[in-house]
Structure 1
């Protein structure tokens, strides 16, 4: 399936609205074509059953499914059971998962269609896309766009979080992101408050069993609380929070959240509250944490936008940085590299033969998922047919039992920088006051 770039997310939402108007065309489509359409809708929302399971912890989600989508009790119960069963197959053991991100999306699509039927499934995916899109603040249409306002920019494949104040980058953090089975979504969210000494209610999922009791509140300050001293909600199912070891930075570290060390989240809180117009000093943060069993929420004077991007091709310092496609979205293509170059007035065909060769080779090498597998669907000269790649991967899966563990590590090189002479003094800003957590 051809990858649809996240920069077109706003256009996709408009297209999704037409879902309910395509019944006549649907009759002439083959079953495989209809499934492909639904899978594409799911892919545009990063939708997996693990994410659905997290959404059921959102206070009004179940009620809204019934009121807005007119789902009956049996359908909602079946959705919850399917989501819970999918998460039940996952653990955080050391052995890597053999399931790809796209396989998780396909699994979700199949289950949703089975439970709701094709027409209702289309409405369901439109509902998910619309619910978690900010109509006023969509992702930018230009790749690598530098904000002109105050906002947080998170780029998952770069494991990087930037703080911009009035269009100026003032701070950069190295982060951990969601496992591919629990991906950090894309879109524009808002940070409205900071919660000191958060409690944690563990879900009834295998990755918490044996450590704590599902459903029983884990108090603030407990060593069993994975949230650390501070959490910043940015819209379900995601948070920015502490509690991570430095070894988790630049890697997978969470179930759909942005992970920081305790020291990092304390520093980030100071910077966030400053740009929000309600500064909290390091001393005040320390005072909150002295009362580590008391949870306190502090509202920001001005909400701060949090932009969650997925950009594997980034111009910076006269180079194109090609990041590993850790969520297997097929983004490392000549087409996407050309779009990035175009944004800076550089034409691919004008590059030197050496630059073209280096760029093509880098795209090919980084066209791998976190497990080091080639990604089918991205056409590169040196790769061979996408069908062959997909068949080999499926054959490999048949030769071993599906383990279902979450993918913990990125295997191999994470990025390649390709010098491009015409990009001199152009590109997204390099990290500023870089906090690597060490």
Structure 2
């Protein structure tokens, strides 16, 4: 049924699944004509997911149901499609008299191409397309060196970031003020997971609250995987069910260390923007393309399944496989182990994390993997090879974390180490040195 008589604007949700403090949504509602809230389960992305129990799709649907309930109280509804964005917009253009489409920036290579395609499609129909900064505090060229070039080292970037921070950047957008502008219509159904070919797991997700107590102890406790010392907000930041501005506001008064973690997010998004090749599988430092990886498939399989015989590595991989989460310190250990102990291309590990992590974010995942492999910006030097035994002694001395995920630790069934540490370190240094001399 066509509603061509009423001019409308559309707000397109993507990585910003909340009504509260949402930049693009605020601008859409403020523009003065009724706003239709839209979400598209993008088949270009979903059709590539092999795991049909992918909990990220379940997380997104849960966030949409929450927004749907809020919109229902305002007499409005989310319009949710499962399809190809261009086709969905063609359909919407037939049905409604659309004046403008509003959304928030997305910096990933696929998203850039998708948005350009939608912009052209709308332009052909005299419909304007507006996008806003929402998922980071500073983006693109907002924090750069004096000569306008991007930073490639975190510490000076973070100093400049903090110096540039004004209250204005952390101010929430008062979306509530314009709630009456949501397009009024009866509730519409959100596609079920089954109808899109996915399965429901009904496993709980981490809460989206940031406890004051956690912030106070964050610096002291964040590196110990057996302690609940990290926020586990990664999935909420990834899909925008929490506002980065509100988190930064809270952290700036309570925990410099937590604020630095948020700055790392901005840093990696800035790197992806200025150096898009890293999002397309290229090493940030081109000379690292010369490394002759061993790429042993059996060893990779043992790493994936947590059977390397290195308990801290195995615990991390099992935690990831079972929960979609891995403690940040352990992420560094397992990534270093794959790239340096086993000399398996970091891109294999990056792709595995992309499949498994609930909070998978291209910019941060790529940044973390290249950091561990030595090929990234501001990376650990190639000759720094994490020793899993020392990391265990330092960060899981009582083996609490390890015993949780590797219960057979003291049994004969637990595998022998896949490689001896000193041998692996020597082999890694020789291989890297050879490649980097070229």
- Shorter-chain TM range is under 0.3
Normalized per residue, the structure richer in helix is 2
Larger Rg: 2
TM-score w.r.t. length of structure 1: 0.26
Question: Greater strand percent: which structure?
Answer: 1
Q: With structure 2 as the length reference, what TM-score do the two structures score?
A: 0.26
